[in-house]
Each structure stands twice: as C-alpha cells, then as structure tokens.
Structure 1
C-alpha cells in the first residue's frame, strides 16, 4: 500500500533559500561550522555529565537527553541543507523525504516533552526543595525520559502513517530546505483535510499540553522567587532555572511562529528563517547557554580538560 501510494512521485527537489550561488558558497562554511559546533557541544555535554560525579543529578541527566535529541535533529537537517547550498537544488527520493520528516517530527516531539520534564524538575527544586530528592528519584527520572521518547516515537509514527496513506502526484518541488509537513502535503493530490485534523489533534498532547505545564511551572517558580526577601537570594535561585527558561522561550517562540500563527501574509523567507532557528540555531545554542550560565558544568569541563591533557602528556 505504501509503495503504491508514493509511486507517482519518486524524487523531490528541495529548492532551499533562493539565493545566488556566490551567496550559497558564503553560507556553506558558516552552516558547516555551526553543524560541527552543535555536534561537538552536545557530545561534550553528554561526556561531561557521564564523566563528572558532581553532574550526576536529574537536571543534568535530562540535559543529556536533550543533547541527544539535538544531535539527531541537526544531523537529520543540516547535511542535506549543505548539499543544497552546493548544488542549488537538493534532489532526494520521496522515501528519503518521508524519512527526514519522520526523524524531524520525532526529535521535535522529544524536545517538547524533555523541556517540559526539565520544567517540572526546576519546579520541584525551587518550590519543594525539601522533598526534591525523594520525589525526583533515579527511578522517576528514567520513567520520565522513557515516556518522553516512547510518546514521541508513537506520535511521529501516527503522523507518518497518516501522511503516507495519501496519494502524491506532484509537482515534486518543495520550496523549503527540508521536508516539513505542510510542503509535503502540498504535493498530495488527495484530500488532506482529514490528515491535517488528525495531526492537529495528536499535536495537542505534544505541543499545547507541555507548553501549559511549562507556563504553570514557571508561574509557581516566579511566585516563590518573589517571596525571597533578599535580592541576592532571588538572583541565586533564579539563576538555577534561567538557562532553561531561555532555551524554552527560544524553542517555543520559533515553533509557535511557524506552526501556530496564521500563515496568511507571512513571508516564506520568514518561515524559513524561523525554521532555521529551531532546527539549526537552537541545537547549537543549548549547550552554550547551559554551560556558560552554569558554574558546575564549567568546573567539570575544566577538570575534564586538565585530566585529558595530563593523560595525553603521559603518552
């Protein structure tokens, strides 16, 4: 059934950014550098948390899961984007396009849920510190992460199953730098209203509900912080969640800008820029924001670097 449905389109042309070849050659090393920084930064974050016992805490465990999702997301998007910049138009199989969207949907769902779990972790740490260790046990951490990954896998699988059930007869041009859902549905010659409704309904538990939980968590956090009598105490407490708040704001801000706000009157270039922010920019900024604003991570990095250089010197 699946092969029959997609047999009318075998290849897809990703049109990219519509810039001149000279400009593309300028963008290429910048995006390649960002990609390398993203991989190195997120891999380093995972290594530091595994290596340093001081970072064996729930918040940093969740951070490693976010880094893994960022690595998967950027590796799904950027290589084809780089190919697009060099060849003006990236040609991939329709099956490859579907696979790219599947990985993208899985990573985005995972990030939404993991950021929500991290918000709950910060809520417990600030609003209920005496019971934090008891509640946020290792068992609960593993369960929350497992639920996040399994839920993301299930929802993205439902989306792909619905999308793959349609007939696709072209045209086979996608005016984007990756295979996102709206441009894929534009290739279909079937009625997509049912699929759009189904995907919108499945998007509620992975986008709207987590967003509401984040808002509620930080509302309680702000109330608790405002009750702290000293300015130093307020600043110190807020610093424990400020990095996560910045990441959440950037992630949900760009996500809502692309998928929730009305598309009428919105420039396609703006949509591409916002998509670039949460597919490329956010995965690169996450480890930077968390490390620069966290003394424990910087300390762990210093220790790791010293031990690594010492081992290299002995060799």
Structure 2
C-alpha cells in the first residue's frame, strides 16, 4: 500500500516532468501514504515481538502467538492508524491554500503540502509530533528493547549451532528494520536547509521503493529452495567464467 500510493504518480511525474494534481487528490494520497506508513511501523514492532517470543520463550510461542492473536493485533493496528491519521487530515483540510500551488516533490508529502498553506500550522505541528511519537518513536523503541533481550538470550545459548540458529531467526527482520528506520532518519532527522530539501526527495525513495523491494529478497534468503537455486546459478556462472 505504501508503494502503490506513491509510485504510480511518481512515475507519471518523472515521465512528464511535472503534472497537475487537484488538492483533493493530493490530500487522498497523503492520507493513504500516512496510514500505510504508520501501519508498517506497528507491523515491524509486532514482528519483532514475534521474534522475541520465538527466541526467548520458544516453549510458550504456539500458545501466545496464534491466529486469534494475529487477527486482534491487525484489527487494532488498523483502527489506531485510521483514527490518528483521520484526525490529522481533517485539520489539514480546514487550512487555506492561497499561496504557492507548486510542490517540488514526486508525491504529496506532509512537509511540501504545509508549505503551500497560508494558515497557522503550529497546532497541527504539535499534533503531528504527538502522533509521530506514538506511531514511529515508540514502536522503534519497542523494537530496540526486544532485540536487546533477543541478543542477550542468544548469547546465553551454550552451543554455536543454537546461537547461529537464533541469529538466523531474526536476520531478515533485523535487516528490514535497519533499512526502513535508517532511511526514515535520513529523511526526517536531517538538518533542514534549502539544499537538503532536494536531497530528501531521493532519500525518500529508500523507504518508499528500495525497502519494499528488498523485503521479498531478504525473507526469501531463508527459503531452502531459493538457496539451492542461488547456489546453482552461482555454480553455473563460475563454470561459464572458467570457459
């Protein structure tokens, strides 16, 4: 959803150099972009909790994590993100946009839209700060805490096979966490100056395009059939290169 809400319009902008988008369409894209990105933060936190139970409480894993718990978590996450972003987008829709009518970006992001508004945005900025703490910072802290417990538990395993198996359980998810949150920090925590605005457009591609593109690759590397296929391709490549 995160990629689909942005990439089609971005490709249209790249092909045509610039396009005209109505304010309603821009608000719709911002709404679904924020909802999907907020939901992804909760989903990453839930996956880290899943890894925590698998490593730290393996005997109780099947009783604690089942389809009923999964369903409750997903429904709860959707309700939270819809309520939070709906309250934010309702405030933005009440703003006046009588100034600039040009967005120097490849999608309708939060910052570029507010730059067009001639209304007082101080209240919205405070609201956005509270929402960001709830849906970005707190899930990130939760992920860090769970991985601290995971690493401590793995290091206490006596056998090297058990330690390697524990780390392999979390390797794919940890790589996704580093890619996603690392790109978010590059975009939204970088110093704000005119030159960084242009760079942020390209940094945004990391979590909008690159991170979703890497997810299937990262999670497929644990699949034994994928591993055998890669080994076969590498072996064929080496054989051809020798010839």
The two structures share one fold, judged by TM-score above 0.5: yes
| Correspondence 1:126 to 2:55 | yes
Q: What's the Cα RMSD here?
A: 1.7
Q: CA deviation at 1:213?
A: 0.5
2:95 to 158, 163, 166: 166
For residues 187 and 197 of structure 1, the distance between their equivalents in structure 2, rounded to whole angstroms, comes to 18
How far did 1:187 drift? 0.3
From 234, 237, 251, the counterpart of 2:180: 251
Asked if 1:153 corresponds to 2:82, the answer is: yes
Question: What stretches of structure 2 of length at least 5 have no aligned partner?
Answer: 230-243
Q: Does 1:284 align with 2:175?
A: no
Superimposed CA distance per residue, residues 8-66 of structure 1 (whole angstroms, 9 cap, x where no aligned partner) = xxxxxxxxxxxxxxxxxxxxxxxxxxxxxxxxxxxxxxxxxxxxxxxxxxxxxxxxxxx
Picking from 183, 187, 204, the partner of 2:112 is 183
- TM-score norm. by structure 2 comes to 0.89
Shift of residue 73, structure 1, vs aligned partner: 1.5
Report SS of the residue matched to 1:174. Answer: coil
Cα distance in 1, alignment partners of residues 178 and 195 from structure 2: 21
Aligned-pair CA distance for 1:278: 0.6
Give 2:3's aligned residue: 74
Compute the displacement of 1:231 (Å). 2.2
Match of 1:95 in 2: 24
Q: In structure 1, which of residues 212, 215, 224 is the aligned counterpart of residue 153 of structure 2?
A: 224
CA displacement at 1:126 relative to structure 2: 0.3
Report deviation, 1:262. Answer: 3.2
- Alignment CA distance shift 1:229-1:262 (3 Å): same
The answer to whether the 8 A contact 1:74-1:279 is kept is yes
Q: Residues 258-297 of structure 1: matches in 2 within 5 Å?
A: 258-264=187-193, 267-295=196-224
Q: Secondary structure at the match of 2:105?
A: coil
In 2, the alpha carbon distance for the partners of 1:223 and 1:253 equals: 23
Number of residues of Structure 1 aligned to a counterpart in Structure 2: 228
Equivalent of residue 212 in structure 1, options 134, 141, 149: 141
SS of structure 1 residue aligned to 2:117? coil
Residue 86 of structure 1 and its aligned partner are, at CA, apart by 1.4
User: Higher relative contact order by CA 8 Å / sep ≥ 6: 1 or 2?
Assistant: 1
Instruction: Tell me the distance in 2 between the aligned counterparts of 1:101 and 1:239.
Output: 36
Moved more, 139-148 or 228-237: 228-237
Aligned to 1:27: none
Q: How does 1:26-41 map to 2 (within 5 A)?
A: none
Instruction: Give, in whole Å, the separation in 1 of the partners of 2:194 and 2:108.
Output: 22
